[in-house]
Amino acid sequence: MNRQFVVALILVAAVFAGATALAQQHRPYNLIMKDVGETWASLKKNLDSNAGAAAAADAAKLQSLFAETEAFWAPLNTFDAVNFAKRVQEGAGVIGAAAKSNDMKAALTSYAATQKNCGNCHLAHREDTGKGGFLIRP
């Protein structure tokens, strides 16, 4: 009886540890940023063509992508990058809400304001290798 209990306890602990490790893993940063680039371009295209529903879907995807971005930076003692990612999530929320209500002017205004966070973060944390790639600066 005792032996069964110990085995069960070990199994539960192993499952818990595995789930925690899985939750802490994130996709490689270059893949996240690649998706961001594509979604950002799609969002602009949909806003320009007054496709409110598609733009709102893009904005929702951006919120999710920047939650990943925030999770990447959070353990790295680099809070400015975390804050940039948070602001983009907030901005994407505003863009999405405006797009849903077909207020494209407001959505585009928020789009431009939100995009500044991308530039500021790249300025601080992205270094061009000059060979078609980028390095991530702490």
Partner 1 sequence: MPRLVFSILLGLLAVIEVQAQAAADLPEQKLAEEWIQRLNALDDWYLSVDGKEEGVEPLVNSMMDLYAPEVLAEVPPYDKDQIGPVMLRGKDNVRKWVERIARSQVRLNYIVKRQTEGPTGDYEGWRLVYSAKLPWGGNAIAFQIIGVWSLREDRRRYMAPGAVFIQYGPDGKIRRLRLLLGEIDQIVPL
Contact assessment for residue 70 and residue 85, using Cβ atoms and an 8 Å cutoff:
yes
Q: Is 29 in the site for partner 1 (CB under 8 A)?
A: yes
Least separation in angstroms between residue 122's CB and partner 1 is 13
Decide the pairing of beta strands 134-136 and 126-128.
Answer: antiparallel
The Cα 27–Cα 122 span in angstroms is 19
Total residues in contact with partner 1, by rule CB under 8 A = 18
Contact flags string 56-85 toward partner 1, x per CB under 8 A: ----------------x--xxxxxx-----
Least separation in angstroms between residue 65's CB and partner 1 is 15
Q: At what angle do helices 29-48 and 52-73 cross, to 10 degrees?
A: 160
Binding residue for partner 1, selected from 51, 67, 94, 136, defined by CB under 8 A: 136
Two tokens, residue 121 = 């973060």
The distance of Cα 81 from the centroid of its chain, to the nearest Å, equals: 11
Where along the sequence are the contacts to partner 1 (CB under 8 A)? 26, 28-31, 72, 75-80, 124, 127, 135-138
